[in-house]
Structure formats: structure tokens, C-alpha cells
């Protein structure tokens, strides 16, 4: 007997099929069958009538505890924004980070994000939150050279974190090395990170060319941009998750393609901070794997990946109204994110992780003859009815397993302390 069966909905597999009145069977955390009929009995049955049954969304770049900073830095230029955030981060305690991470987990579960890639500080607390909340995550303990620890100590501590948590929470947690950027880490430090990642077979999560200032700084310091610098070090490869990638030349795009680097597009954050528009349609044309991320909630405010899909779709239509079709954007938020993180999720097919969401389509704003466009452009996190990760139901019929009231009160307490300390 299977653990769970979802029946009666329209199944969007993201593997090329749409199955009306479909059935998805789950056992031991994995999808065992997807089709129109399933005679197999299950301990639990969910009726998905009127819903789209699809893979959970994947937020491929964020800093989840920054939920605590929402509204604190609105309408600031990038440099001023960064300085204010860094000052606030220096005063964060582990309990603050845990409170922010729990608030993020609650928002992600409610809005249908089942997997996220995180880079921040006090990451043991974030890992504990992932473990308790039931989400799937690729966690990287952020590294800014010269901040708090000497370089060797920092590398040793990050290696210790990565080995401690990789494969934890019944395999829901994987770890990555997370140097912040080429502008905050030296060439020598980044080479050591590359050596560690290769030795330990861990992926690397890094910001690349988010701002024009970074481009100018790299050319002044090294005589080349970040992409060329990293390529000259043999740093780039299919195990690299490159966030933003806004200020790219055609040569840079060719390098990313040849090295099979995974790019994460964060349109809302780039717009909010005025850092530019990433050349995503050109990257997609080159068949670079481009995933989607919200970045931290301090800039983008929201962890709602539906909003991010809509933003990505509309932003690039300013230049070409035929670019970024709904199917492409949906793939960025599911299939491409899974590929970028090296995870067996992002599609509904036998043998894949049972990370599944039900989207309630019985809404006036979702009533459409084009299902994919309704999802990619019209839907919001509030339309997600049920969220399942690793076969476990984290939210059913909008009711979450977490203690929402406590999570929000704890976050407000930390927010008030941060606001008081910022005066």
C-alpha cells in the first residue's frame, strides 16, 4: 500500500505531459506512478479536483533570514542599501536568524516553494529550520573575506558546516560552498574554495556581475571582468550556481555556455536595487540553464516565486514581446532550478522526489483557456492549496503544520530589536 495518492486534478508533469483527471502515487518520499488510473491503495488520499497538480517551485537564490529586513531599506541606492544591511547583519544573533528563517519557511510553504538555495550567516540555525519545517534546501554558509574570521579559519568552518549538514534531514538538505562574490573575495581565496569544492564534490553558489560597479572594479583590479577572472582560474563549471549575471558581454555568455554554468535570474531584486536587466533571453537562446530566484526579501520583499515568474516574463517583453513565453518561465521555476541544484525534483515522474503542489484554479483570475499562462502570469502564492515535500504534507487546504502565530511573533520581536539598534 502506498503512502499517499493524489487524484482528480489536472497533472502538469513539467516532463511534457498534461493529464486530465490524473493520479499521482507516492511512497517512501518518492513518486511511484503518474497517470490517469491507479488501482493501488494508499494510506492517505487527497482529492485534487479543480486543481493543477505540479512540481513544487524552486527558489534557486535567496537569503531567507533577510525576511527580518523587509521595509528597512526601501528606496535606497545599492551602495547605501548594502551598507545599511551589513551594519544590521553584524548585530544579528543566531536566534534572530532562526526567527527570520522560520518566517521564510512559512512563506515558502504557503506559496508553493518546496526547495530553495540559501546563502547567509549562522547557517546552522537555517539548517535546523529546514529540518523542522520539512522543506528541501541547498545551504551555503556565506563567505566574505576579511569579515569576522581570518581566511583559513573561515574555510575550515565552512567545510565543517558543509560536511555536517550534507544529506541531513532525511536527505532534504544538501550543502554548497558559498563565496559571496569576486569583489568580496580575493583570487587566492576563491581558488581555495574551488579546491575544496572539487575535493568534497560540493557545488558552489556565488554572486556574479550583479552590478556595474563590480564590472568596473574587476577590470581595474584584474584587467578583466568577473567571468573572465573565474574562467582563468578554472573556477567555472556545471557545479557552479551563478546568481544575477546582469552585466554580461557576448563573450561572457559564450564562456558560461561552454563551461555549463547554471545561472539564476533574480528580476525583482535587480529592479528594486536598480542594478540592471540580465540578458536572460540571450542566455536561453544559447541554451544556458537559467533558473529563477527571489534573492533576499530585503530587496525583493517577497519569497513568492509566482510573482518572480510574472516579473521575469514581463520585464524582458519590454525589449521583445515574443520573448519569455509562459512555458519557459515555468521551466525556470521548476525543471531548471532542479538541474541547477543537481536535485532529482522539478518534474512529476516515477523515481523523482515527491515535491508537489496543488494550485486551486477555481478562481476568477485563473479562469483561462491557457493553463500555462494562467500559472506563470496570473497566479500568486495565495492560490496554492496544498504543499508536499518528500511525500510529507506540509500544508493541506491552506492549513500549515507550523505554528504560524509563534513564528510571526518571534520574527516581529527580532524586527523590533533590529529597528531599535538601527536608530
Distance of CA 322 to the CA centre of its chain: 26
Residue with cell 503512502: 3
Q: Which pLDDT score, from 0 to 100, does residue 153 have?
A: 93
Tens of each residue's pLDDT in the chain, 423 residues: 999 999 999 999 999 999 999 999 999 999 999 998 778 899 999 999 999 999 999 999 999 999 999 988 888 888 899 999 999 999 999 999 999 999 999 999 999 999 999 999 999 999 999 999 999 999 999 999 987 788 999 999 999 999 999 999 999 999 999 999 999 999 999 999 999 999 999 999 999 999 999 999 999 999 999 999 999 999 999 999 999 999 999 999 999 999 999 999 999 999 999 999 999 999 999 999 999 999 999 998 999 999 999 999 999 999 899 999 999 999 999 999 999 999 999 999 999 999 999 999 999 999 999 999 999 999 999 999 999 999 999 999 999 999 999 999 999 999 999 988 766
* CB contact at 8 A, 373 and 306: no
Q: Which pLDDT score, from 0 to 100, does residue 423 have?
A: 63
pTM for this prediction = 0.97
Q: Domains of the chain: which residue ranges?
A: 2-55+348-400, 57-341
Virtual torsion, Cα 360, 365, 369, 375, nearest 10 deg: -60
* CB contact at 8 A, 312 and 292: yes
Q: How many CB atoms lie within 10 A of CB 176?
A: 25
Which segments within 144-231 are labelled E, that is strand?
A: 173-179, 203-208
Q: Which pLDDT score, from 0 to 100, does residue 147 have?
A: 78
Q: Which pLDDT score, from 0 to 100, does residue 148 have?
A: 77
Containing H/E element for 214? helix 212-222
User: Cα–Cα–Cα angle for 105, 109, 110, nearest 5°?
Assistant: 115
Report how far residue 268's alpha carbon sits from residue 66's, in angstroms, rounded to the nearest whole number. 15
Q: Are strands 42-47 and 2-12 parallel, antiparallel or unpaired?
A: parallel
The SS3 call for residue 330 is helix
Containing H/E element for 33? strand 30-35
Residue 123 to residues 65, 67, 130, 175: CA-CA distances in angstroms? 10, 15, 10, 11
Q: Which pLDDT score, from 0 to 100, does residue 40 have?
A: 83
Q: Which pLDDT score, from 0 to 100, does residue 416 have?
A: 94
In tens, the pLDDT along 217-234 reads 999 999 999 999 999 999
| Helices 151-165 & 187-200 angle (0-180, nearest 10) | 30
- 57-341 under CATH 3.20.20.140, yes or no: yes
* CB contact at 8 A, 268 and 248: no
| Helices 123-133 & 151-165 angle (0-180, nearest 10) | 10
Report how far residue 94's alpha carbon sits from residue 125's, in angstroms, rounded to the nearest whole number. 6
End-to-end CA distance of the chain: 59
> In terms of Cα–Cα distance, which of 97, 84, 108, 105 is closest to 142?
97
Residues in the chain: 423
Report how far residue 210's alpha carbon sits from residue 34's, in angstroms, rounded to the nearest whole number. 40
Give the CATH fold of the 2-55+348-400 domain: Urease, subunit C; domain 1 (2.30.40)
Q: Which pLDDT score, from 0 to 100, does residue 103 have?
A: 98
Report how far residue 376's alpha carbon sits from residue 353's, in angstroms, rounded to the nearest whole number. 23
Q: Which pLDDT score, from 0 to 100, does residue 329 have?
A: 98
Amino acid at each position: 500500500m502506498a503512502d499517499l495518492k493524489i487524484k482528480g486534478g489536472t497533472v502538469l508533469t513539467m516532463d511534457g505531459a498534461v493529464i486530465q483527471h490524473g493520479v499521482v502515487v507516492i511512497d517512501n518520499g518518492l513518486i511511484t506512478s503518474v497517470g490517469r488510473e491507479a488501482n493501488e491503495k494508499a494510506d492517505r488520499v487527497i482529492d485534487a479536483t479543480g486543481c493543477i497538480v505540479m512540481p513544487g517551485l524552486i527558489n534557486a537564490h535567496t537569503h531567507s533570514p533577510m525576511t527580518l529586513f523587509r521595509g528597512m531599506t526601501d528606496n535606497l541606492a545599492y551602495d547605501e542599501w548594502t551598507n545599511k544591511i551589513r551594519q544590521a547583519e553584524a548585530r544579528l544573533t543566531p536566534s534572530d536568524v532562526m526567527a527570520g528563517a522560520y518566517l521564510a519557511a512559512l512563506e515558502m510553504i504557503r506559496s508553493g516553494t518546496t526547495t530553495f538555495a540559501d546563502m547567509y550567516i549562522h547557517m546552522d540555525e537555517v539548517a535546523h529550520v529546514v529540518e523542522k519545517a520539512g522543506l528541501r534546501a541547498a545551504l551555503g554558509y556565506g563567505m566574505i573575506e576579511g569579515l569576522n574570521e581570518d581566511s583559513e579559519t573561515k574555510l575550515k568552518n565552512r567545510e565543517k558546516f558543509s560536511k555536517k549538514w550534507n544529506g541531513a534531514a532525511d536527505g532534504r538538505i544538501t550543502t554548497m560552498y558559498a563565496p559571496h562574490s569576486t569583489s568580496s573575495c580575493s583570487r587566492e581565496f576563491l581558488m581555495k574554495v574551488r579546491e575544496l569544492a572539487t575535493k568534497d564534490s560540493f557545488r558552489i553558489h556565488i554572486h556574479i556581475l550583479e552590478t556595474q560597479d563590480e564590472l568596473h572594479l574587476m577590470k581595474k583590479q584584474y584587467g578583466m571582468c568577473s567571468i573572465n577572472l573565474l574562467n582563468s582560474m578554472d573556477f567555472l563549471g556545471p557545479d557552479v550556481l551563478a546568481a544575477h549575471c546582469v552585466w554580461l558581454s557576448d563573450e561572457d555568455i559564450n564562456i558560461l555556455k561552454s563551461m555549463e554554468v547554471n545561472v539564476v535570474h533574480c528580476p525583482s531584486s535587480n529592479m528594486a536595487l536598480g542594478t540592471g536587466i540580465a540578458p536572460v533571453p540571450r542566455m536561453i537562446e544559447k541554451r544556458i540553464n537559467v533558473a529563477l530566484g527571489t534573492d533576499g526579501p530585503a530587496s525583493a520583499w517577497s519569497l513568492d516565486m509566482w510573482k518572480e515568474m510574472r516579473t521575469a516574463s514581463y520585464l524582458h517583453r519590454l525589449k521583445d514581446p515574443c520573448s519569455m513565453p509562459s512555458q519557459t518561465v515555468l521551466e525556470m521555476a521548476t525543471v531548471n532550478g532542479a538541474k541547477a541544484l543537481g536535485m532529482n525534483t522539478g518534474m512529476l515522474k516515477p523515481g523523482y522526489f515527491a515535491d508537489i503542489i496543488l494550485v486551486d484554479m477555481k478562481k476568477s483570475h485563473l479562469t483561462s483557456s491557457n493553463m500555462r499562462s494562467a500559472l506563470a502570469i496570473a497566479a500568486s502564492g495565495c492560490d496554492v492549496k496544498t504543499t508536499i515535500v518528500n511525500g510529507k504534507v506540509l500544508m493541506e487546504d491552506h492549513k500549515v503544520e507550523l505554528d504560524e502565530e509563534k513564528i510571526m511573533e518571534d520574527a516581529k520581536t527580532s524586527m523590533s530589536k533590529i529597528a531599535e539598534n538601527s536608530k
